[in-house]
Structure 1
Amino acid sequence: MIAPLSLTILPDEVGTIYIPATIESNSTIQSVAFGASSIKCKVVHQEIEEIKMTEDIFHELKIPYTNNTQIFLHDDTLYLGPLVGIFTAGFSESTIRPIGERSLFFAKLLAAEKAVGAFVFIFGAQHIDWEKGIIQGFFYHKYGWEQIEVPFPNVIYDRLPNRRTESLRSLQKIKQRLNDEYLIPWFNPGFFNKWEIHQILKSEHQVSDFLPETHKNPSFSLIEQMLAKYHHVYLKPANGSLGLGIYQILYSREDEAYYCRYRDDKDVNRLQKFSTLEALINTLFQKRRLDTYIVQQGITLIRLNHKSVDFRVHTNKDQNGNWQVSVIAAKISGRGSVTTHLNNGGVVRTVDEIFQDSSECQRITKSLEDTVLTLSEVIDTKQEGNIGEIGFDIGIDKNGKVWLFEANSKPGRSIFAHPKLKKYDTLSNQLSLKYAVHLTEKTIKNPQDVYK
């Protein structure tokens, strides 16, 4: 990816675009394209390192405003942009917060466009005009949110908010139509299934050792066997997220009783005692189907002030399509909490706040980075679609062994509220858009590598 070039408008000419003389083409450039729009034009080379275009081209291509832009050359066409559409749901009528509580997240993401050299907007199913081939997209700039008509984008970043919305047939049809009929590539096109990811990783020798023993559709006898072996286990929804619906079951040999730690429907951390495992399951799973859960080996994690510590690590693909670590955060469990999630009372810390010895901090950081980069490569190779980011929940036990608890294709952003981690919020947003640039160039020049 080259450095983005500034784009300006020339009001007094027509049908002409000026590009730097340093941009060389193997053939005569005859057209300019933006998103799905393209027109014939005259191309003139200039000594200045910027893009200038006449006003008629600017409007006909439906470029929303002047901005920094990447350029790609292929055959006889000059491609500007890219135009990146972020597909989501949950829009409101508000012009100040068009996507409700997530408006701030999207504003931060869209604010990264200038540094990357892209035009980025959010849209939903209701904003597509199929007959005209246009989208009424929401853009964010210094004056706030603005809805602007643009052509179909070069790539689409899937940010549907949850599994329930993602499973809606109407949205699935839209995604399929944009991908199949309009050949627009998507990245991060779906939530991961915990069991499927576990099976993928279990079959790969270089990462299988990171996995706790895990089984789906657990029976009473299986849970009993795992409790005898590990003293505590976790029951997790196979398609859960945000730490919701997780139960920790412990067996006490001293009082021959079973204990269950969980968060109830009123968001209160609970610890209940039962005389038998059957009583525990029958009481707590009256409204839940055990066959939609997985049972996972309990790990005795490292602790700080008698509280468990695990790590959230994000990886992103960069402008070359390579994986890199974008942030590492430590999470400390809340009082009586079954997980370290913030909504369960957990607290975020930086790694150096947990490990104050610099050599130990570097060793732990290196171990986490090596682990998640290897995991990212394996998941990327085995999963369908274009994956641009992954969030990992990683644990380290008291013996220093690294364990993978979960991998998420749409990781939450709550860790970035920590003051020392805000710069990594910007980094991960920029990397998401840089990957969109990479995917655009790949689609233009080597579409066979995208549509396999």
Structure 2
Amino acid sequence: MSSKKITVQIMSPGLLEDDCLVLGENLIKQWKIPTNHSLQLSFGSFRQSIKVIPLSKVDGVRISQGTAKKMGIFHRSSLRMVYRPHSSTIHFGPLIGVLLSRDYPDNPERPFGPITMFCRELVNACQRQGAFVYFFTPEQINTNSSVISGWVYGDGWKRTTVPAADVFYNRLTSRKLENKPSVQQFMKDVKSSYGSHVFNEKFLDKTEVFDALAHDASLARYMPESHLFRNFAMLKTMCSKHPIVFLKPIRGSLGKGIIRISRIEGGGYQTLTAQVGGTKRQTYPGLAKLFSTLSEKMKTTRYQIQQGLNLIDVSKRPVDFRALVQKNLAGKWNITSIVARTAGNQHFVSNLARGGSLSTVKEAIALSALPGGIKTKIGTRLRKAALDIANGVDTQIPAHFGELGIDLAVDTTGRIWLLEVNSKPSKNDNTPLGGNKIRPSVKQVIEYACYLSGFTGGRRR
């Protein structure tokens, strides 16, 4: 049975008992909801026994102020509703909890700092689609996982008590926070106790991704040679096989700390290291001297050593592509967007944080030196590669992901390569549209939550 979007009216104190719920007669008839015995009301982890009171010409639902407070919702909240006769339960939802790294309670206008606009956009998308979202941090996790002190948006941001959600969206941007025992225990508890779903439940590191995807023969065409960097012998072997080699921090982000190693004329090697202000250039007479320098870095940072690629460029600046891949209303991977990222003048990595610039795939390909026949097919082939890799992650890595940022490259022959898979893609790569417009990437998050929680024609809890 599909769900119906309804508006919740909260009655003034004394007009309706907490164990009563008012529904329109037409809806009661349509769904064959019994009015003569006790039913269950469900909203996330919240459960309450209720009696349904029929009323003609009611379009929506009326609940008591006490019930609304326990649910953490406010007047004229827009929710989806479904009646499941096998359990005699009226479900409201989906209830979505977004786990963020930190909040700023002293700044009620921007309680989540630079991502407050993204959070507002999620709120607006939920109101349109009939869902309810709240936001919380690891500090707001209680020992009792059924109750959370979260942020909601009504007439401004405010903190209130909310039930554990049907679906949790992990937007933690710190591995340290994600690995806190309280956070890990919370995720375990809500899944086992309330059947909650948690997606993007963990960070990915580069070694994990490349080792896992290496088991999928269908992905071999996209995979550069890549290993966890261990010793001098590995550096020597990789540098003898490939004219350019990259060392990438396995837990790095935003291009920070990537080292490009290349042979130079007359012998010796050159390294380029991505730094905040630009690129640091160093030369070495041989690999032994280079490795001794790297050994110091390896004491604090683990690296993935990867085959260098001869990428297409625009005005001698390398170009790569970020695909945002998300699961949709049917629970299937879908391409939300693909953008081209061109490295800044002083950088060899394309990340926006390192001075890179965005353009459309079509614009970047048109400016490249690829042959015309290849140019026309690159867009389609990038989309296929992103979907193939996302499905490979699902198959090979035992964790639940609902969105992935997949970084791809195209070499000068037109071959497509995987650079990186990011389970916490930045929300700044797609500029907010402003006003009340909702980006497709935000809408997709809500649609996948609807799928997971059974508020569509798809999966049922």
TM-score class, shorter? 0.7 to 0.9
The residue correspondences of 1:80-95 to structure 2 (distance < 5 A) are: 80-94=92-106, 95=108
In 1, are the aligned partners of 2:94 and 2:455 still within 8 Å (CA)? no
Which of 445, 450, 454 is equivalent to 1:437? 450
Q: SS of the counterpart of 1:58? A: helix
Q: CA deviation at 1:423?
A: 11
Q: For residue 272 of structure 2, what is the aligned residue in structure 1?
A: 261
- What code does the residue aligned with 2:198 have? W
- What code does the residue aligned with 2:263 have? Y
Distance 2:21 2:341 in 1: 55
Q: 1:367 aligned to 2:381?
A: yes
- What code does the residue aligned with 2:292 have? N
What's the Cα RMSD here? 3.1
The range that moved more, 278-287 or 190-199, is 278-287
Q: 1:35 aligned to 2:44?
A: yes
Which of 408, 413, 427 is equivalent to 1:394? 408
Q: SS of the counterpart of 2:76? A: coil
Q: SS of the counterpart of 1:372? A: helix
Q: CA deviation at 1:251?
A: 0.7
Q: 1:328 aligned to 2:328?
A: no
In 2, are the aligned partners of 1:261 and 1:337 still within 8 Å (CA)? no
Q: For residue 23 of structure 2, what is the aligned residue in structure 1?
A: 18
Q: CA deviation at 1:26?
A: 6.9
In 1, are the aligned partners of 2:213 and 2:396 still within 8 Å (CA)? no
- What code does the residue aligned with 1:317 have? K
Q: For residue 312 of structure 2, what is the aligned residue in structure 1?
A: 302
The range that moved more, 200-209 or 410-419, is 410-419
Distance 1:329 1:10 in 2: 49
Q: For residue 394 of structure 2, what is the aligned residue in structure 1?
A: 380
- What code does the residue aligned with 1:235 have? L
Distance 1:331 1:103 in 2: 25
In 1, are the aligned partners of 2:278 and 2:346 still within 8 Å (CA)? no
Which of 203, 206, 222 is equivalent to 1:191? 203
- What code does the residue aligned with 1:364 have? I
Q: CA deviation at 1:302?
A: 0.9
Q: For residue 127 of structure 2, what is the aligned residue in structure 1?
A: 114
Distance 1:51 1:411 in 2: 37
Q: For residue 151 of structure 2, what is the aligned residue in structure 1?
A: 138
Q: For residue 426 of structure 2, what is the aligned residue in structure 1?
A: 412
Distance 2:322 2:400 in 1: 22
Q: For residue 450 of structure 1, what is the aligned residue in structure 2?
A: none
Q: For residue 351 of structure 1, what is the aligned residue in structure 2?
A: 361
Distance 2:99 2:156 in 1: 19
Distance 1:424 1:111 in 2: 9
In 1, are the aligned partners of 2:9 and 2:75 still within 8 Å (CA)? no
Q: CA deviation at 1:366?
A: 1.2
CA 1:245–1:44 in 2, change beyond 3 Å: closer, same or farther?
A: same
Distance 1:307 1:276 in 2: 27
Distance 1:120 1:147 in 2: 13
Q: SS of the counterpart of 1:416? A: coil
Q: CA deviation at 1:388?
A: 0.5
Q: TM-score, normalised by structure 2?
A: 0.86
- What code does the residue aligned with 2:120 have? A
1:396-439 CA distances to partner (integer Å, 9 max, x unpaired)? 111111100111111112321397x9999711111112111211
Q: For residue 282 of structure 1, what is the aligned residue in structure 2?
A: 292
- What are the ranges of 5 or more consecutive residues in structure 2 without an aligned counterpart? none
CA 1:45–1:232 in 2, change beyond 3 Å: closer, same or farther?
A: farther
CA 1:65–1:285 in 2, change beyond 3 Å: closer, same or farther?
A: farther
In 2, are the aligned partners of 1:69 and 1:81 still within 8 Å (CA)? yes
Distance 2:125 2:422 in 1: 23
In 2, are the aligned partners of 1:416 and 1:424 still within 8 Å (CA)? no
Q: For residue 54 of structure 1, what is the aligned residue in structure 2?
A: 63
**% identical aligned pairs:** 26
Q: CA deviation at 1:361?
A: 6.4
CA 1:312–1:250 in 2, change beyond 3 Å: closer, same or farther?
A: same
In 2, are the aligned partners of 1:302 and 1:397 still within 8 Å (CA)? yes
CA 1:287–1:355 in 2, change beyond 3 Å: closer, same or farther?
A: closer
CA 1:172–1:267 in 2, change beyond 3 Å: closer, same or farther?
A: farther
Q: SS of the counterpart of 1:207? A: helix
The range that moved more, 397-406 or 184-193, is 184-193
In 1, are the aligned partners of 2:334 and 2:387 still within 8 Å (CA)? yes
Which of 226, 232, 248 is equivalent to 1:220? 232
Q: SS of the counterpart of 2:454? A: helix
Q: 1:311 aligned to 2:325?
A: no
- What are the ranges of 5 or more consecutive residues in structure 1 without an aligned counterpart? 448-452
- What code does the residue aligned with 1:17 have? V
Distance 1:331 1:425 in 2: 23
In 2, are the aligned partners of 1:88 and 1:159 still within 8 Å (CA)? yes
Q: TM-score, normalised by structure 1?
A: 0.88
In 2, are the aligned partners of 1:7 and 1:50 still within 8 Å (CA)? no
